Chain A
Amino acid sequence: MTLSKDTRNLCKGLAFLSPWLLGFAVFTAAPLALAIYLSLCYFSLSRNGGNSAAIFRGLANYRELFHDALFWQVLRTSLLYSAMALPAGMLMSLAVAILLNSKVIGQSVFRTMVFLPSLVPSVASAVLWMWLFNQKLGLINNFLGHFGIAGPGWISDATWVLPAFALMSLWGIGNTIVIYLAGLQDVPRELYEAAELDGAGPLSRMWNVTLPMISPVIFFNLVMAIIGVLQVFDVPYVMTNGGPAHASYFFTSYLFDKAMKYQEFGYASAMAMVQFALVLLLTGIAFWTSRKWVHYR
C-alpha cells in the first residue's frame, strides 16, 4: 500500500500527538463524558462491592440541588471568595511584576524571592499560615498588638475567614507574576520612547502603552484565575475544614464530601456540572468583554 505524502505526514503527526491524545481521551474527555452521564443518575462507587450500575433518574439530581440550602451557601461562599481573591491577586501580581521589571540592583534576587512561595506545597503553606493567622499566638496579631490593635480571629471568626483566605491567596501569585514579567519584557522599547517624546509621564505610559500591550497576558491570567478561584479546595480543607460554621465551606469541598464521604456520586457529578457551567459562563463573559479591552498585535 502506498500512501500520499500528505497522508503520511498526517499519520506521522498523529503518531507524535498520540500520547497526548490518548491521555486527553482517557483522563479528560472520558471522565467528563462520564460525569455528565452520572449527573443524571443514582450512583455510588462502592455499592454492592462496586458491581452496581448507575440508575438513570433524569434531571432529579439538579432539581434536588436547587432545593439544597447548603448548595446555595457553598456557591455564595465561593463567589464571595472569588470576588475578593481574584481582583486582589490580579492587581497585586501585576503591581509586583511591574516593580520587578524595573532595573534595580538585585533584580534577580527579588524575582526569585517573589517566586519561591509558589514552590511551597500547598499543605505546607497552609500549616504555616495557620500559625500566622492564629488569633492569640500568631505573628500577624502579635504585630498588630504593638499598635494597640487586638487582631481578629482570622480563621476562627466567620466574618474574617474569607478575607483571610483571600489575603493568603496572594502568597501563591509567583506563577502569575512570571507570566506578567514575560509580557512586560515583550513590550517594544520604541513605544515607550515615542510616548516619552510625546510628553507622556510614567502613569500615562503605563496606562497608554504598558497595559494595552500586555492586555492579552492580563486576559490569559484572568481566565486562569477565574478557573482557579472557583476550584479552591486544598487550603481551606487543611486549615479550617470548612469552618467555622461553614463560613469557609467552598463549592469544591462540598462536592468532594458528597462524592467521597457520603458516596453520592450522581449528586456530586451534578454539582461538578454546575461548577463547569459557572466557569464556562464567567470565562465566556471575560471573552465577550475582551473585545473591548484586549489588544492583539
Chain B
Amino acid sequence: MPIVRYIAVSVLILAAAMVLVFGPRPAPALPPGRENDVIVQYWEKWTDPEASQMRQIVDDFNRSVGAEKHITVQYLSMTNIDQKTLVAISAGVPPDIAGMWDANIAQYGALGSLEPLDDLAAAAGITADYYKPVYWKGCHYDGHLYGLISTPAAVALHWNTRIFSANADVLRAHGCDPDQPPKTLADLDRYAQALETFSLGVDGKKHLERAGYLPMEPGWYVNLTPYWFGGDVWDPATKKFTFTDPRVIAALKWVQSYSDRLGQDAVAEFSSSTGGFNTPQNAFVTGQVVMEQQGPWMANILHSLKPEMDHDWAAAPFPAADPALKDVSFCGFDILSIPKGAKHKQEAFDFIAFVNTQAEMEKLCSLHSKNSPLAKVSPEFIKNHPNPYIGVFEELAASPNAHGPMDCPVATEVGGELMSCIQAISAETATVPERMAYMQDFATRSYQRFLDTQEAYRRAAAK
C-alpha cells in the first residue's frame, strides 16, 4: 500500500477520535416555549437529601423569575466540587454558579478565581443590613463580595434528654441539674464525667462504653475550640497568626484533658466503635455520646436515622470557659459563587438573588433544617421549622460572639494542619505548647508564601 494511503487512514482515524472526544454534544432539552432561554449551569456539592431540596428552589426559579427573564438553571449535584470547579475554571469552561464552602471565599477570592459580586449585589439592592453580620462579613475577602449564602449554620450543644433523665440521680450526685444543660465548660466536664460508663475488657482494662462528651466526637469543630475560650488563632486586624496566645493554649489543653482523664487508648478504641455521621451508628444516635457539638441540621439527621428520638434531644449554646462570654458560636455557611470566566454572570446572579429572597431562603433553610442568614426572620419560619430549637440557632447567629470563617486565604491549609496537631495532642504524643509553636511557624510560613506569590504576580502585572 502506498505510504500516502497509510497517512490518510491514520489521519482519518485520528480525526474520528477527535470528533468523538471533543465533538458536539446534543443540546439539553428545554420545555416548549423555553428553547431560547439562557442556560445557567449550576454545580452544587450537596448529595441527597439536601441536593433534592435545593432542586425544589431551582424549580421554583425556573417556573417564576426564570420564565419571566428567559433563564433556565440546570442543576448538577456532585462531590469534590471545589476541585472540579478549579479544573473547570482553568480549562475556561466553569459553571455559571458553583455551590461551595465558606472557606473558598478567601482562598478562591485571593486567587482571582471568583467574580466579585459587589456591583451585581448593589444593582439588585442587596446590602449588608439584609443579613446577619457574621454571614455578610464572611462573604467578603479583601473588601469584595465573592459569594452569597445558600444555607448557613450555627454550632450549638446538643444533648440526649432521655439519657439525662435516666441518669438524673447520678447527675445530681455530681452537682448537675438533669433538667438543664451545662452552663460553663467546668459544668460540661462535670456532666460528662457523671455520664461516662465503662466495661472490663479481656485484657483486664477499663473500656469506655459511653462518653458524656468527647471533643473529638465527631470533632468537626475541635479546631475552633479557642473561640469558647475567648481566643482565636488568627488576628484579622494585624493579619497574623496567634497560635501561642494563652487562650488558644488553654483551649487545646482542655481538649487534651479528656485524653488525660479517660486514657488515650480508651478514647481511640471508643472512637473506632462509632459509625459515620449520617449512619445509624452515629454515636449521638446510638447514645454512645450524650452531648455533642453540632449544627441545626441535627434535627433532620436524627429524624431520618431514628424518628423515635425526635423528642429525646435538646440544643443550647455551647458553654464557654468564661461565663461572661455569652452565646459563643461558629457560624459557617455554604456559598453560591460565580467562577471567573462564567458565561452568564447576570443570569447567574439573578438566580443567586432569587435564592436570597426571604421566602426562598426560609424555604430552603427549613428543608435543610438550618437557621436563616437574613437579619429579618418571619414568625412562620420559626413556628413551622423542623428543628424545635431553631430559636437557639437564630440567637447564636445574631450574637456579637458569633464567629465566621477565617478571613485568610491559607485557612484551608492551616486548618488541615491544625487538625493533625490536635490529633497528636489528643493522642498525647505531643504537648500543646510544642505543637502550637510548630503551628505558629507553619502557618506564618504558609501565609508568607502566599504573600510572596501575590507580590510576584503584582510585579508581573505591573511590567
| Residues of A in contact with B (beta carbons under 8 Å apart) | 3, 8, 11-12, 15, 18, 22, 42, 44-53, 55, 57, 64, 67-70, 134-138, 145, 148-150, 153, 156-158, 242-246, 249, 257, 260-264, 267
**Complex contact A136–B113 (CB within 8 A):** no
B139 within 8 A of A: no
Q: Is the interface of B mostly helix, strand, loop or mixed?
A: helix
**Complex contact A48–B111 (CB within 8 A):** yes
How many interface residues does B have (CB within 8 Å)?
54
Could you say which residues of chain A place their CB within 8 Å of the CB of B85?
46
The closest CB in chain B to the CB of A44 belongs to: B111
Stretch binding the partner chain, chosen from B30-38, B71-79, B449-457: B449-457
Q: How long is the Cα–Cα vector from A52 to B457 in the complex, in angstroms?
A: 9
**Complex contact B6–A45 (CB within 8 A):** no
Could you say which residues of chain B place their CB within 8 Å of the CB of A48?
111-113, 340
B201 within 8 A of A: yes
**Complex contact A42–B453 (CB within 8 A):** yes
Which chain B residues (72-95) contact chain A, with CB distance < 8 Å? 82-83, 85-87, 89-92, 94
B374 within 8 A of A: no
Q: Chain B nearest CB: distance from A157 CB in Å?
A: 6
**Complex contact B413–A262 (CB within 8 A):** yes
The closest CB in chain B to the CB of A148 belongs to: B202
Name 8 extra pairs, CB < 8 A, besides A50-B89, A148-B202, A157-B268.
A44-B453, A50-B341, A67-B445, A153-B269, A242-B420, A245-B420, A245-B429, A246-B420
Partner among A3, A8, A50 whose Cβ is within 8 Å of the Cβ of B92 = A50
Beyond A245-B421, A245-B427, is A262–B410 a contact (Cβ under 8 Å)? yes
Which chain B residues (256-275) contact chain A, with CB distance < 8 Å? 265, 268-273
**Complex contact A46–B268 (CB within 8 A):** no
Which chain B residues (396-448) contact chain A, with CB distance < 8 Å? 410, 412-413, 416-417, 420-421, 423-424, 427, 429-430, 438, 442, 445
Partner among B89, B205, B273 whose Cβ is within 8 Å of the Cβ of A49 = B89
Which 10 pairs of residues, A with B, have the shortest CB-CB distance? Answer: A49-B340, A50-B90, A245-B424, A135-B272, A136-B273, A45-B90, A150-B203, A245-B423, A48-B112, A46-B89
Q: Chain B nearest CB: distance from A178 CB in Å?
A: 32
Beyond A42-B456, A153-B272, is A50–B420 a contact (Cβ under 8 Å)? no
17 A-B residue pairings within 8 Å (CB atoms): A15-B6, A49-B112, A49-B113, A49-B340, A49-B341, A70-B442, A134-B272, A134-B273, A135-B272, A136-B269, A148-B202, A156-B268, A156-B271, A244-B424, A245-B424, A245-B430, A262-B410
**Complex contact B3–A11 (CB within 8 A):** yes
Beyond A42-B453, A261-B412, is A11–B442 a contact (Cβ under 8 Å)? no
**Complex contact B438–A69 (CB within 8 A):** yes
The closest CB in chain B to the CB of A12 belongs to: B6
Q: Chain A nearest CB: distance from B453 CB in Å?
A: 5
Could you say which residues of chain B place their CB within 8 Å of the CB of A260?
83, 86
Q: Chain A nearest CB: distance from B345 CB in Å?
A: 12
**Complex contact A261–B413 (CB within 8 A):** yes
The closest CB in chain A to the CB of B424 belongs to: A245
Could you say which residues of chain B place their CB within 8 Å of the CB of A148?
202-203
Could you say which residues of chain B place their CB within 8 Å of the CB of A53?
460
Partner among A67, A150, A156, A257 whose Cβ is within 8 Å of the Cβ of B272 = A156
**Complex contact B412–A150 (CB within 8 A):** no
B108 within 8 A of A: yes
**Complex contact B410–A45 (CB within 8 A):** no
**Complex contact A263–B427 (CB within 8 A):** no
The closest CB in chain B to the CB of A134 belongs to: B272
Could you say which residues of chain A place their CB within 8 Å of the CB of B427?
157-158, 244-245
**Complex contact B420–A243 (CB within 8 A):** yes
**Complex contact B417–A70 (CB within 8 A):** yes
The closest CB in chain B to the CB of A73 belongs to: B420
The closest CB in chain A to the CB of B425 belongs to: A245
Could you say which residues of chain A place their CB within 8 Å of the CB of B160?
none
The closest CB in chain A to the CB of B459 belongs to: A55
The closest CB in chain A to the CB of B460 belongs to: A55
Could you say which residues of chain A place their CB within 8 Å of the CB of B111?
44, 46-48, 263
B107 within 8 A of A: yes
Q: How long is the Cα–Cα vector from A183 to B265 in the complex, in angstroms?
A: 47
Q: How long is the Cα–Cα vector from A158 to B428 in the complex, in angstroms?
A: 11
Q: How long is the Cα–Cα vector from A166 to B421 in the complex, in angstroms?
A: 24
B339 within 8 A of A: yes
The closest CB in chain A to the CB of B94 belongs to: A49
Partner among B10, B82, B91, B271 whose Cβ is within 8 Å of the Cβ of A15 = B10
